[in-house]
Amino acid sequence: MIRKLNESLILLTYKEKILLMIRNYVFNSGLQKTWCMIGGEKGSNESCEKTIARCIKEDMNIKINDVKLLLIAPSDNKNTYFYHGKLTDNNVNLIERAEGQELQFFDLKELNKLQLATSTDLFFTQNKNIVEELLAN
């Protein structure tokens, strides 16, 4: 039996913008930058919520208190759990970037111009109304 993977990704919003990241980009590599949501594969003894908390801590060295499950996107080989969290001024001021990592805020119009990772692109394409509502609130 093939083990099905579980991936957790989070839509982090702040003042009507979305935080995306580039992981392990090598300057002058010739590769195009690919933007993605923060997240990762679920550990063996870890809930999807704990996966998100761990990834946020590892990637930005902050803690988000209010994280909500938006939807689960099943596919043949993995389930992707999409969460939402609102960043506070304090969160943004405390963000630390790792070497080779970029974090940047984008509005919805700017997303159309970016090279997005597959899961991130599918989420924004299929859930535009949800994203617009979250950004408006």
| Dihedrals phi, psi of 113, to nearest 5 degrees | -95, -5
Predicted local distance difference test score (pLDDT) of residue 2: 55
Domain with residue 107: its CATH number is 3.90.79.10
Secondary structure element (H or E) that encloses residue 129, with its range: helix 128-136
Q: Of 131, 10, 8, which is closest to residue 81 (Cα–Cα)?
A: 8
In whole angstroms, give the CA distance from residue 120 to residue 42: 17
The 10s digit of each residue's pLDDT in 54-102 is 999 999 999 998 899 999 998 888 899 999 999 999 999 999 987 778 8
Predicted local distance difference test score (pLDDT) of residue 28: 53
Q: State how many domains the chain has.
A: 1
Predicted local distance difference test score (pLDDT) of residue 92: 95
Range of the domain at 75: 5-136
The 10s digit of each residue's pLDDT in 14-60 is 999 999 999 765 555 656 789 999 999 988 888 889 999 999 999 99
Given pLDDT bands bounded at 50, 70 and 90, which one contains residue 3?
low
Q: Give the pLDDT mean for 101-107.
A: 92
Tokens describing residue 135:
């950004």
